[in-house]
Amino acid sequence: MTSPAETPGSDAFTASLAGLAHGAEGVLARAAEAQIAEVRLLAAAAALAEKTAAGSPAKVREQDMALRSISAELAGIMRVADRTMQRRIDEARTIVEDYPTALAAWEAGRIVRGHVLTIIAAGSVLPPELRGQFAVAAIPKCERDTPNRVRPALEMLAQHLHPRSFAERHEQAAAGRCVRIVPGSDGMSELIAKMPTAIVEGMHDRLTRMGRAIIDTRGERAALGDAEIVSTDARSMDQVRADLLADLVLAGTPALDDTKDTSAGPLGKIRARIQVVIPAHALAGDDHDACDLVGRSPIDAATARELAAGNSQWERLVTHPVTGAVLAVDSYRVPEKMRRYLQARDQHCRFPGCRQAAVRCDVDHNEDHALGGKTHVCNLCHLCQRHHSMKHFTCWRVRQLKGGVLEWTSPLGRIYREDAPVPAVAFTPADLALPPF
């Protein structure tokens, strides 16, 4: 609580605020010093990868594998995913090599890290030979404003300096249109479509017009006998737009009500190969805990049950009554039995920090089959393509211990232990009786 002597405008308040401001300047300077040191360190890592591959007939692959290995090593030290570390190394190299004047201005305290990242983002459309010129013109603009407010001006500056026309570049960019998923929390995810702006605006406008029609006709539908449906339709415009998009993509036609019968709604139209772990109590109707959409994020139990209701294949797991370790599955197709067992055990890629779902991974022999490694669950684990190839083409090594535990050894000799994922169902010592199999 502020004392009377430190009320706004008083000398004591001014002195305290000045102390905070001075402290903030010191924190900013020390943070910038550490961040710049990290940028130079990571740029040196990129240079090491390039130097390692110099002279190799397969230079591109060798450099990529060296960079993956170095990224994994540094990621283990800094406690981030190796993909994240590789992105940071690429970013650092771009700063040092393409924007040295921006780095110098950052070191001098003229701009902050956010300005540098904004310069990089805006200048990414330019060929490398023009980025230095762009940075020289961008720095004075950055000195006058915050990164978020200067961004539009820098984007226009970059467009102005570009040697190719915007129309030509747009035609090329449109070839990269795509749709991707960004997993979220509480059973939600974002569906992101990268498409030409005019099409996106038109799609949003149509969804808005259709949504407005649904909202505006609630009274009319109630008068026609749909009062029960309308009374439950309290959706906002954003919710209606999202529901319309799902209906149009999955069913081909919008549903103008809340569709209690999901066989006619979005969930009933899903036909995809995904890996979902559904605890028995959730399958029985318990909505308290989330289910696991492996490799993505948790999903709600009701959604998991809807997906399970339309599934023609089930896998029942028999687990150890104390440890919960998976012992067997009730599948009898020989080539798939071991794979399904490993999917149940591993759940995802077994490289430290990776969450790629097992259904999208390769089954790897920890000890190479060509060197005598057996095709046995004690010598197999799931690795995504990235980490599978890194294991074979770099100095990273792995061996499997008891209980599915993996021991990874980095090129520097650092040991990273990768425990088997916690199984979906576990039993307490009091529940020793196994269910019939």
Averaged pLDDT for residues 92-110: 95
Same-domain status, 41 and 167? yes
The CA distance from 434 to 437, in Å, is: 8
The CA distance from 119 to 112, in Å, is: 11
Asked whether the predicted pLDDT for residue 274 surpasses 90, the reply is no
Q: Which two tokens stand for residue 225?
A: 């006998």
Residue after which a domain boundary falls, among 158, 173, 188 = 173
In this predicted structure, what is the pLDDT of residue 305? 77
Q: Which two tokens stand for residue 359?
A: 């259904």
| Number of domains within the chain | 4
Asked whether the predicted pLDDT for residue 326 surpasses 90, the reply is no
Averaged pLDDT for residues 287-314: 65
Same-domain status, 163 and 122? yes
In this predicted structure, what is the pLDDT of residue 316? 52
Q: In this structure, is residue 265 part of a structural domain?
A: yes
Instruction: Kindly report which listed range (4-18, 223-237, 365-379) carries the lowest average pLDDT score.
Output: 223-237
Instruction: Kindly report which listed range (4-18, 36-50, 220-234, 337-351) carries the lowest average pLDDT score.
Output: 220-234
Asked whether the predicted pLDDT for residue 315 surpasses 80, the reply is no
Q: Which two tokens stand for residue 52?
A: 């390692």
The mean pLDDT value of the chain amounts to: 79
The CA distance from 367 to 206, in Å, is: 57
In this predicted structure, what is the pLDDT of residue 88? 96
Q: In this structure, is residue 135 part of a structural domain?
A: yes
In the chain, what percentage of residues exceed pLDDT 90? 33
pLDDT in tens, 183-239: 888 889 999 999 887 678 778 888 887 888 778 777 666 666 555 555 567 888 999
Instruction: Kindly report which listed range (200-204, 377-381, 382-386, 403-407) carries the lowest average pLDDT score.
Output: 200-204
The CA distance from 278 to 299, in Å, is: 10
In this predicted structure, what is the pLDDT of residue 61? 87
Within 8 A by CB and 6+ apart from 420, the residues are: 325, 345, 346, 403, 404, 405
Averaged pLDDT for residues 359-368: 87
Averaged pLDDT for residues 276-292: 69
Q: In this structure, is residue 433 part of a structural domain?
A: no
Q: How confident is the model at residue 146 (pLDDT cuts 50, 70, 90)?
A: confident
Q: In this structure, is residue 395 part of a structural domain?
A: yes
Residue after which a domain boundary falls, among 210, 242, 269 = 269
Residue after which a domain boundary falls, among 269, 298, 329 = 269
Averaged pLDDT for residues 53-71: 87
Within 8 A by CB and 6+ apart from 297, the residues are: 183, 184, 185, 187, 189
Same-domain status, 299 and 407? no
In this predicted structure, what is the pLDDT of residue 336? 61
Averaged pLDDT for residues 153-160: 83
Same-domain status, 127 and 68? yes
Q: How confident is the model at residue 131 (pLDDT cuts 50, 70, 90)?
A: very high
Same-domain status, 33 and 155? yes
Q: Pick the closest to residue 66 from 54, 78, 76, 77 (CA basis).
A: 54
Same-domain status, 37 and 165? yes
In this predicted structure, what is the pLDDT of residue 55? 76
Name, of 7-11, 17-21, 323-327, the range with top average pLDDT.
17-21
Q: Which two tokens stand for residue 233?
A: 């339709």
User: pLDDT higher for 408 or 395?
Assistant: 408
The secondary structure of the chain, three-state, reads CCCHHHCCCCHHHHHHHHHHHHHHHHHHHHHHHHHHHHHHHHHHHHHHHHHHHCCCCCHHHHHHHHHHHHHHHHHHHHCCCHHHHHHHHHHHHHHHHHCHHHHHHHHCCCCCHHHHHHHHHHHCCCCHHHHHHHHHHHHHHHHCCCHHHHHHHHHHHHHHHCCCCHHHHHHHHHCCCEEEEEECCCCCEEEEEECCHHHHHHHHHHHHHHHHHHHHCHHHHHHHHHHHHHHHCCCCHHHHHHHHHHHHHHCCCCCCCCCCCHHHCHHHHCCCCCCEECCHHHHCCCCCCCEEECCCEEECHHHHHHHHHCCCCCCCEEECCCCCCEEEECCCCHHHHHHHHHHHHHCECCCCCCCCEHHHCEEEECCCHHHCCCCCHHHEEEECHHHHHHHHHCCCEEEECHHHCEEEECCCCCEEEECCCCCCCCCCCCCCCCCCC
The CA distance from 314 to 312, in Å, is: 7
Same-domain status, 162 and 217? no
Q: In this structure, is residue 428 part of a structural domain?
A: no
Same-domain status, 280 and 328? no
Residue with tokens 């591109």, as numbered in its chain: 60
Q: In this structure, is residue 429 part of a structural domain?
A: no
Name, of 43-57, 196-210, 420-434, the range with top average pLDDT.
43-57
Domain limits at 198? 179-269
Same-domain status, 35 and 167? yes
Strand 397-400 and strand 380-383: the pairing is: unpaired
Q: In this structure, is residue 23 part of a structural domain?
A: no
According to DSSP, the residues that pair with 362 across neighbouring strands are: 383
Residue with tokens 């720095």, as numbered in its chain: 139
Same-domain status, 58 and 122? yes
The CA distance from 134 to 140, in Å, is: 11
The CA distance from 381 to 365, in Å, is: 7
pLDDT in tens, 397-418: 999 998 889 999 998 888 998 8
Same-domain status, 261 and 151? no
In this predicted structure, what is the pLDDT of residue 426? 46
Are the C-beta atoms of residues 65 and 411 closer than 8 Å to each other? Answer: no
Torsion sign over Cα 35, 41, 45, 51:
positive
Same-domain status, 114 and 56? yes
Q: In this structure, is residue 262 part of a structural domain?
A: yes
